[in-house]
Amino acid sequence: MELKTKLTAESGKQDIKITREFDLPVELLFLAHTNPELFEQWMSHEYGTTRVVSMEAKRHGSWRFQTVDAQGNVLFQANGVFHEFIPNQQITRTFEMDNTPFEVQLEFLEFEKLDEDRSRLSMHIIYRTGELRDQLLKNPFAQGLNMAHNRLQAIIGKLK
């Protein structure tokens, strides 16, 4: 089976490239990244609900979101600034995880229309150093959320 989401992380480099084609018009793909309600929906999962704290969808606007568990504990929080904001074409933003030793990263998102119903997203994420990138890739907490840990908690939570 061909993988829909492709990820390239060349050894010795300090960046990652992610590409994905969607069965969605480019306008909807873009909207998913800028509309708080829709963003919350696709960034939430069974073990955490994502809440957008702020989303100033414009050049030099800032954004912040957090993921909370069923008890309302904040599991994860991230923030950043939009540096470039061209509707249906491009977002350049910073991404920083709160309360972690990881440094801010720079993200280039390119939105591409393939036809009326299909689009492609290309993400280029740049870290300060190659070591930082590798640490992040190896650290499950840094991968948006500590999935294994939180899944385990969710299962234990059900047993209680």
Partner 1 sequence: MELRRDVFQAIADPTRRAILNLLALQAMTPGAIAEQFDSSRQTISKHIQILTECELLKQQQNGREIHYHLNPQKMKEIADFIEPFRKMWEERFNKLEAVMKNYKSKK
The closest of 40, 85, 39 to 62, measured between CA atoms, is 85
Residue selected from 144, 151, 153, 154 as contacting partner 1 according to rule CB under 8 A? 144
> Shortest distance, CB of residue 118 to partner 1, whole angstroms?
11
How many residues bind partner 1 (CB under 8 A)? The answer is: 32
Decide if residue 3 touches partner 1 (CB under 8 A): yes
Decide if residue 138 touches partner 1 (CB under 8 A): yes
Decide if residue 129 touches partner 1 (CB under 8 A): no
Residue selected from 58, 84, 103, 140 as contacting partner 1 according to rule CB under 8 A? 140
Residues pairing with 90 in the sheet? 86, 110
Quote the CA–CA distance of 86 and 98 in Å, as a whole number: 27
Quote the CA–CA distance of 52 and 59 in Å, as a whole number: 18
Residues that bind partner 1 (CB under 8 A): 3-7, 9, 11-12, 16, 18, 20, 22-24, 28-29, 31-32, 38, 41-43, 45, 121, 130, 134, 137-138, 140, 143-144, 147
